[in-house]
Amino acid sequence: MNNEYLLKHLRNVPDFPIPGIQFKDVSTLYKHPKCLRIMVNELYEMYKNKGITKVVGIESRGFVVGAALAYKLGAGFVMARKPGKLPAETRKESYMKEYGKDTIEIHTDAITDKDVVLLHDDLLATGGSMLAAYNLVQQFNPKLTFINFIIELTIEGLHGRAVFPEDVDITTLLKI
């Protein structure tokens, strides 16, 4: 897709959070109403006929567009959060990320085997956090699972798509 208007408003932050990383800051896309509309509308067009019943947003940037998209699709929204942030019983999945180990959790009553789930996050780099979210969602045995990112980094050495099973439908709005 690579919408030029979105690319124009995406901020690059050098050496964040550590030296050598070129951080893609999606907050600049969220603060511009036109960018937010473009992202939600393009995603809605991708998924409007897929039968999505739940959108799972990955903490925390996945909450912004994920919740807006769930609303537009008429689906429920589920938060995949860091440990200790959800008040009721949870299932959890741990994973390694570029900067260390982390864990995400989802409420045990958030997803059923009747759901068609769309997992959403802002960025695909190595795929670690989304793979953990995907594995966590699979514990609920949903009918079908889709994965979406706003940005996919296609930098040499990053093979984020390769960590997922080949039959998983993965889409992105921007490839950089």
Tokens of residue 138, six digits: 């699979």
Quick check: is 61 catalytic?
yes
For the chain, the first-to-last Cα distance in angstroms comes to: 11
Per-residue b/e over 128-166, b at no fewer than 16 CB within 10 Å? bbbbbbbebbeebebeebbbbbbbbbeeeeeebbeebee
Q: Which of 11, 45, 93, 98 is catalytic?
A: 98
Catalytic residue from among 61, 93, 105, 152 = 61
CB atoms within 10 A of CB 21: 14
Q: How far apart are CA 8 and CA 10, in angstroms?
A: 6
Verify whether residue 98 is a known catalytic residue: yes
Which residues carry out catalysis? 61, 98
